[in-house]
Copies of this chain bind each other. A is one copy, B any other.
Amino acid sequence: MIAFQTSPEKYRHWKLEAGDEGIASLTMDVQEDAPLRPDYKLKLNSYDLGVDIELADAVQRLRFEQPHIRAVVLRSGKSNIFCAGANIFMLGTSDHPFKVNFCKFTNETRLAMEDASQSSGQHYIAACGGTTAGGGYELALACDEILLVDDGNSAVSLPETALLAVLPGTGGLTRLVDKRKVRRDRADVFCTLAEGVKGRRALEWGLVDGVIPRSKFEAGVYERARAWAAKEPACKGPGIRLPELTLKISADRIDYEDVTLAMDRSLRTATLTVRGPREDAPKELAAIHEAGADFWPLRAFRSIDHALLHLRFNEPEIGLILLKSEGDLGRACAIDGALARFEGDWLVKETLLLIKRTLKRLDWTARTLFALIEPGSCFAGSLLELALGADRSYMLDSGDAGVCIAVTALNHGRFPMSNGLSRLESRFLGDPGRAAGAAARTLSAGDAEKAGLVTFALDAMDYEDAVRVAIEERASLSPDALTGMEANLRFAGPETIETKIFGRLSAWQNWIFTRPNATGAQGALTVYGTPERPAFDWRRT
């Protein structure tokens, strides 16, 4: 079982140091002998999931624990190499679902870096003091600025296609032409050049933002970090501690303080139940800071995030997640009210951003999502997003005094999906007025159905049967076809770099990962590092 919790004192591959002038240093120094699985070594600052879990933790932690940090220098602890990318032997020996989920997680981590920059003013500078290859360059592409040492030797490269017959699938192709807007013909040359591009040409082609001689590299990097830091207001904080979540794992369930994840392996379903706040919403901002990591929305959504990662990696056969909530609808509304009232505060803002990222993680989870809205539930505002993000929702209609949901101000744009739209806007793409007009109010099942906020509102006679049949039917369908179907239906409307990475680039990479030219017995990924040459089926498709 892969664990997703860590903290700086446990890091084996990264070192996080806060320095002066709001500048932190995040140093990648991968321990060869500490891979996640024992069958490969992490040479040349290559990474596996374990390395990336630490990176994701550091990026998240910087936002909550050190909000005064305004620039983060991402550097290597090894000489002459920045990062060699994802470990090839790890990829070559992993099964398809793991490869796909590994890529998805690393993509989410890089997007979290960009989110930290855009939303929280923590800017990343890639200090590429040596070879920056494959996933190493993709990591740099996720930074605000890429500085490459000019030593006649160090190059940036995306050798995946040439050496491994796969794609730079951690956002590489997309960020090259869409974020950095590198000319497509130059991108074509670059992506087939195993040795990469260095020095002046790297700068001229827009692959890096600066090239600096080795003797001036440290000073040059520091100068740029200061310039980035100077763009942001100086004072935020003090930060709060993010202790590891308290959780209890047993064979078929995980219990968190506010969340329970329960697996039914015979049905291949999991029920994710979120318990709403048990106390009244804080009236004062100070109370939120005092609660810190125990502030309900922060703790609850951190738990949901953890549960989703657990499902993806440790429960591959669970195909359907049933989303439920329990608690007091009024209190859940009141928490949203407090979040909205204090949103100018950095900690409240970070909490809202964490909820946003968690909901995106849900959107990109390749499992069917059904929301079940039943007596005792509290789908209000931020929790209602779970139901709006679901592939379908079933609501028990027990009359006007029965089950209710609540729209709050937070449903209007505070948690944009990857397509840039709120879940209400995505839902009512054909009728935008309906999204804008969904006023903050409590709705009965009948009203919710009329307002288009739930798929089905059913009376007690029909509800149980309908849900049971829907679950059984869903569980009988091909998991691959469902993954493809959901990836296409969930993200209508505008496309962004995020939707391109998850929708287009990842889909092509998934395809290529299944092709014998990459992963067959004579595939390039399989034979890499052996004396054998790959053998290709030359048919183009």
- Say whether, besides A366-B540, A489-B177, A184 and B97 are in contact (CB < 8 Å): no
Do A367 and B540 touch across chains, with their CB atoms under 8 A apart?
yes
A residues apposed to B, CB below 8 Å:
96-97, 100-101, 160-162, 164-167, 173-174, 176-178, 180-189, 191-192, 206, 268, 316-319, 366-367, 390-393, 426-431, 452, 455, 473-474, 477-490, 492-495, 499-500, 503-505, 507-512, 514-515, 517-518, 524, 534, 536-541
Do A391 and B161 touch across chains, with their CB atoms under 8 A apart?
no
Do A495 and B500 touch across chains, with their CB atoms under 8 A apart?
yes
20 additional A-B pairs beyond A188-B392, A317-B540, A504-B507, beta carbons within 8 Å, are A97-B540, A165-B477, A176-B489, A177-B492, A184-B426, A188-B486, A268-B538, A316-B538, A316-B539, A318-B540, A319-B540, A478-B517, A478-B534, A478-B536, A480-B541, A483-B540, A494-B495, A504-B504, A508-B510, A511-B511
Do B485 and A191 touch across chains, with their CB atoms under 8 A apart?
yes
Report B-chain residues with C-beta under 8 Å of the C-beta of A494. 495
Report B-chain residues with C-beta under 8 Å of the C-beta of A508. 483-484, 487-488, 507, 510
- Could you list 11 A-B pairs, sorted by A, with CB under 8 Å? A161-B482, A162-B477, A167-B481, A189-B455, A192-B473, A206-B430, A316-B538, A479-B536, A479-B537, A482-B540, A483-B540
Report B-chain residues with C-beta under 8 Å of the C-beta of A319. 538, 540
- Complex-state Cα separation, A515 to B165, whole angstroms: 19
Report B-chain residues with C-beta under 8 Å of the C-beta of A488. 167, 173-174, 177, 504-505, 508
Say which residue of B188, B481, B487 sits within 8 Å of A489 (CB atoms).
Answer: B188
Report B-chain residues with C-beta under 8 Å of the C-beta of A101. 541
Report B-chain residues with C-beta under 8 Å of the C-beta of A507. 504, 507-508, 510-511
Instruction: Give A359 Cβ to nearest chain B Cβ, in Å.
Output: 15
Report B-chain residues with C-beta under 8 Å of the C-beta of A167. 481, 484-485, 488
Report B-chain residues with C-beta under 8 Å of the C-beta of A455. 185-186, 188-189
- Complex-state Cα separation, A490 to B509, whole angstroms: 16
Report B-chain residues with C-beta under 8 Å of the C-beta of A430. 180-183, 206
Report B-chain residues with C-beta under 8 Å of the C-beta of A452. 183
Report B-chain residues with C-beta under 8 Å of the C-beta of A500. 495, 503
Do B317 and A539 touch across chains, with their CB atoms under 8 A apart?
yes
Do A97 and B539 touch across chains, with their CB atoms under 8 A apart?
yes
Instruction: Give A50 Cβ to nearest chain B Cβ, in Å.
Output: 20
Q: Give the interface centre of A183, A390, A489 by most chain B CB atoms within 10 Å.
A: A489
Report B-chain residues with C-beta under 8 Å of the C-beta of A504. 487-488, 503-504, 507
Say which residue of B96, B176, B490, B538 sits within 8 Å of A541 (CB atoms).
Answer: B96
Instruction: Give A494 Cβ to nearest chain B Cβ, in Å.
Output: 7
- Complex-state Cα separation, A541 to B178, whole angstroms: 26
Q: Give the interface centre of A182, A185, A455 by most chain B CB atoms within 10 Å.
A: A185
Shortest Cβ distance from A503 into B: residue: B504
Shortest Cβ distance from A538 into B: residue: B317
Q: Give the interface centre of A187, A188, A488, A508 by most chain B CB atoms within 10 Å.
A: A488
- Complex-state Cα separation, A165 to B485, whole angstroms: 10
- Say whether, besides A480-B511, A481-B165, A489 and B181 are in contact (CB < 8 Å): no
